[in-house]
Structure 1
Amino acid sequence: MLIEQTTAPVAALPVQALKDHLRLGTGFADDGLQDGLMESYLRAALAAIEGRIGKALIARRFQLVLERWRSESGQALPVAPVSTVLSVTLVDAAGAAQVVPASGWRLAPDMHRPRLLPVGMLLPAVPSGGRVEVVFEAGFGAAWGAVPSDLAQAVLLLAAEYYEHRSDGGMRSAGLPFAVVTLIERWRTVRVLGGGQA
């Protein structure tokens, strides 16, 4: 189970860039009235693109909860790029938590499949009937300027698509627009042989 512990702050969202992209009028007293609407479409576009490519565009904190490791020789993290692993905690069946010292594991950074690896032979054993909780930070950066330009453009295009079709009652065709798919294609994680140790 992957839990998003923090959300992208409003200040990091390109609200003005979306308004410029849509060529909305400026200089009026009600310029900011649609900011909430722009934010909602940007968040929806972010979620759709991040879900498709397995990347966090704007940095935030996540918690991965597992009943067991996929492999005790290394656990792939489901979101990239991971900047830091903050903690690894073992929780037994009674709910007692034990933080694993940082000397017992290390992060293997990767743009597509970052992994948590043991410092020795194996990751610490998960208690029977318990779980392990891994807290980490992932994302290209805290500000919109850190997002790669092709992904930033894809978000604006998709948010604009949502805005333009806001009144059609959900009748537009399913799936992402071709231009968006083209922009994000190189960022998609390709899984072979069932994902290996994904």
Structure 2
Amino acid sequence: MMLVELTASEAGALPVVGLRDHLRLGTGFSTADDAAENAALVGFLRAAIATIEARTGKVLLARKFRLRLEEWRDPAGQPLPLAPVSSVERVEIADAAGAVTALDPARYRLVPDMQRPVLEPVGVFLPAVPLGGFAAITFQAGFGPEWPQVPADLAQAVLMLAARYHEDRTFEAAQGAMPFGVSALIERWRSVRVLGGRGNSRGRV
């Protein structure tokens, strides 16, 4: 399985002002100072968002992703590894020679779920993946394109973690540590991630 992020969040969608307020930062002595500080805050916010998304499997700001699979985990319904998923843009099947065929959207549907969205066939099974080929699913995931659409507890966790990065550039989160307050805020959003491989039923992980 290979998951690729195709688009990134716009810097303007990030809560830079909220982080400045959280840190109680004033304005700099010059426009250049403010610009440099804002650029650093954007970096801390992106790092915090990436960490929290990795821990929860939830995409905070809407982006486009592509999931490539050598075989379906379950041909009766392929779980998607991120949530919430708002749409499936296309599904493609490639053969061993690399020839790609786009699947008719009438042959599949998205079953939204906050923990385990699923690509289901309209019928019995998703089409078989040829030996040596792959299936690719392009989808949109995220709570929304604007920061106010992110749930309050996840948004607060991002600010707290970004502030910790700002205050301590050697913070152990880079090695997997997480402040207790942040862990408490994200705990209810955590779910077991679905990886590749074949499963016997949709509920297995």
Which TM class, normalised by the smaller chain length?
A: over 0.9
- Deviation digits for residues 86-120 of structure 1, max 9, x if unmatched? 00000111110000000110000001100000100
CA distance in 2, matches of 1:128, 1:58: 36
Q: What is the one-letter code of the residue matched to 1:126?
A: V
Q: Size of the alignment, in residue pairs?
A: 197
CA distance in 2, matches of 1:88, 1:110: 19
Partner residue, 1:176: 178
CA distance in 2, matches of 1:47, 1:98: 33
When normalised by structure 1's length, the TM-score is 0.93
CA distance in 1, matches of 2:172, 2:144: 33
5 Å-filtered alignment, 1:129-148, equals: 129-148=132-151
**Which structure 1 residue ranges, 5 or more long, are not aligned?**
none
Distance change in 2, residues 1:170/1:151 (3 Å):
closer
1:63 aligns with 2:66: yes
Matched-pair contact (CA < 8 Å) for 1:65–1:131: yes
Partner residue, 1:104: 107
- Deviation digits for residues 45-79 of structure 1, max 9, x if unmatched? 00100000001000000000000000110000000
CA distance in 2, matches of 1:31, 1:74: 50
5 Å-filtered alignment, 1:1-198, equals: 1-26=2-27, 28-29=29-30, 30-166=33-169, 168=170, 174-190=176-192, 196-198=203-205
Identity of aligned residues (%): 54
CA distance in 1, matches of 2:102, 2:141: 21
Give 3-state SS (helix, strand or coil) of 2:74's partner.
coil
Matched-pair contact (CA < 8 Å) for 2:58–2:83: yes
* C-alpha deviation, 1:169, in angstroms: 7.7
Distance change in 2, residues 1:135/1:173 (3 Å):
closer
Matched-pair contact (CA < 8 Å) for 1:75–1:197: no
CA distance in 2, matches of 1:68, 1:163: 42
Distance change in 2, residues 1:69/1:162 (3 Å):
same
- Deviation digits for residues 105-164 of structure 1, max 9, x if unmatched? 000000110000010000011111100000000000001010001000000000000110
Give 3-state SS (helix, strand or coil) of 1:181's partner.
helix
CA distance in 2, matches of 1:197, 1:179: 31
* C-alpha deviation, 1:171, in angstroms: 9.8
CA distance in 2, matches of 1:152, 1:95: 42
Matched-pair contact (CA < 8 Å) for 2:165–2:171: no
